[in-house]
Structures are given as C-alpha cells and as structure tokens.
C-alpha cells in the first residue's frame, strides 16, 4: 500500500472517529477506545476502564487500514482513484470487512452503477440495531462525498 494513500486514509478515519483515551460504549453498546477500536492489537477486546494512548491507537489504525485496503483491492474488479480507496477504507473500518464483502454497495461499485445509486447505498448504513444514528449519516455523507470527489484535498 502506498504510504501517501495510507496516511490520507488514516487521517480521514481518525478525523471521523475522534480520539477517546478511555473506554466508552459506542452507539451499539460495544466497548470502544482510541480511534474507534473495539479490540487491541493483541486481540483482547476493549473492556470498561481500558485506556489507550494516541500513538498506540494510531498504530492500530494504520495496521487495520492496510488490512482493509488489501481486502478492498481483492474485492473490487478495477483500480480505483485514491479518493475512492480512502472513502471505502473509512466505510469498512466502521462497518467491518464481512459486512462490506456482502454489501450491495460493493456489488454496485463492481457493476459501475450510477452515482446516485452508490450514494444511496452508502446512506443505507446509518442504523445500529434498527435505530437511526445521525452520526452515521454524517459519516456516510462525508464518505460518499469523498468517493465522488476529483481531488482528495478538497475534504482535508
């Protein structure tokens, strides 16, 4: 993975996630810490009272971003521009690789569907346990906006 692309993806994910030093329950009730991580590098799940430093959390995000990137490359049937990789990395960081691999969003991207259909698929991912979450809609709007931007710098 290109270092420049990795940095842009990490910056975008970290900006959307925000940093929390101490564990908290996310909108789905899952213990989370740092930049939206639900487990530590060693695989231990985040629990109440856990804490993490920014540097450690950024390293976690970097490793996860690289893993996600290679999953996306395997699943997408063509090379994408940088902005689309960054948007999809952020999306997958949030929803998980399994959900993305089974998603209509992935199918629509591979079918080269219309812009409005792809944006609509991003917006379908705004619910947690059937409940609408405004923060997820805000995130999907940023991801879909970046996905269709000509220059990645417009959102940074």
Mind telling me the catalytic residues?
17, 26
Q: Is the dihedral of CA 29, 33, 39, 45 positive or negative?
A: negative
56: which residues sit within 8 A by CB, 6+ positions away?
34, 41
Q: Which residues sit opposite 24 in a β-bridge?
A: 32
The DSSP symbol for 63 reads: H
Place of tokens 């487990």: 39
């Amino acid at each position: 993975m290109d270092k420049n692309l990795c940095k842009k993806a990490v910056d975008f994910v970290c900006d959307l996630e925000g940093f929390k030093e101490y564990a908290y329950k996310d909108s789905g009730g899952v213990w989370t810490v740092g930049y939206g991580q639900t487990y530590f590098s060693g695989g231990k799940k985040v629990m109440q009272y856990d804490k993490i430093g920014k540097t450690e959390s950024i390293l976690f995000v970097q490793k996860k971003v690289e893993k996600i990137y290679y999953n996306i490359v395997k699943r997408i049937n063509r090379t994408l521009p940088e902005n689309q990789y960054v948007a999809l990395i952020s999306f997958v960081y949030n929803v998980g690789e399994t959900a993305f691999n089974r998603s209509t969003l992935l199918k629509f991207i591979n079918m080269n569907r219309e812009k409005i259909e792809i944006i609509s698929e991003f917006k379908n991912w705004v619910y947690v346990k059937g409940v609408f979450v405004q923060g997820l809609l805000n995130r999907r709007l940023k991801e879909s906006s970046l996905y269709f931007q000509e220059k990645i710098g417009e959102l940074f």
